[in-house]
């Protein structure tokens, strides 16, 4: 049971928009800690996709966006492409656990 809750899977057709939710609590998002998102392509290491709630590292397409409000966060992917098929993880810090925490991951399928 992950501290941050994500849907196991989401899917969409090429070109569509999908959104992945990440639900936390008052000891992580609600305490003001940022959310970060990682993309893990099959057989590879995770890669930083969004940091500090809504910032994209250099090289990440602007089709990816992030937001956080209260105890929830979300990752949006617009103009869905076949290459976006991957697992996506949210991550934050939890002050009740004194530990960094990850969501359980969401598999994105392009139909």
Partner 1 sequence: QVQLQESGPGLVKPSQTLSLTCTVSGGSMSSGAYYWSWIRQHPAKGLEWIGYIYHSGRTYYSPSLKSRVTMSLDTSNNQFSLKLHSVTAADTAVYYCARGRATNIDYWGQGTLVTVSS
Would you tell me which residues interact with partner 1 (CB under 8 A)? 2, 33-34, 36, 38, 44-48, 51-52, 57, 89, 91-93, 97-105
Contacts of 49 (CB under 8 A, 6+ apart): 37, 38, 39, 56, 57, 60, 64, 75, 88
Q: How far is the CB of 25 from partner 1 (least distance, A)?
A: 16
Burial of 104 (0-12, 13-18, 19+ CB in 10 A): middle
User: Which tokens sit at 94?
Assistant: 């939890």
Q: Smaller CB distance to partner 1: residue 13 or 32?
A: 32
Residue with tokens 């656990």: 97
Nearest approach, Cβ of residue 16 and partner 1 (Å): 25
Helix, strand, or coil here: 14? coil
Shortest CB 98 distance to partner 1, Å:
7
The minimum distance between CB 88 and partner 1, in angstroms, equals 11
Tell me whether residue 23 or residue 92 sits nearer to partner 1 (CB atom): 92
Nearest CB to partner 1, comparing residues 76 and 87 = 87
């Amino acid at each position: 049971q992950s501290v941050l809750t994500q849907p196991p899977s989401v899917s969409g057709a090429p070109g569509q928009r999908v959104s992945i939710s990440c639900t936390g609590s008052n000891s992580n998002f609600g305490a003001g800690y940022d959310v970060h998102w990682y993309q893990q392509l099959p057989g590879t290491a995770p890669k930083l996709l969004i940091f500090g709630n809504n910032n994209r590292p250099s090289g990440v397409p602007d089709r990816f966006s992030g937001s956080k409000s209260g105890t929830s966060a979300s990752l949006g992917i617009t103009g869905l492409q076949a290459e976006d098929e991957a697992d996506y993880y949210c991550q934050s810090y939890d002050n009740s656990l004194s530990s960094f925490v990850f969501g359980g991951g969401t598999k994105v399928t392009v139909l």
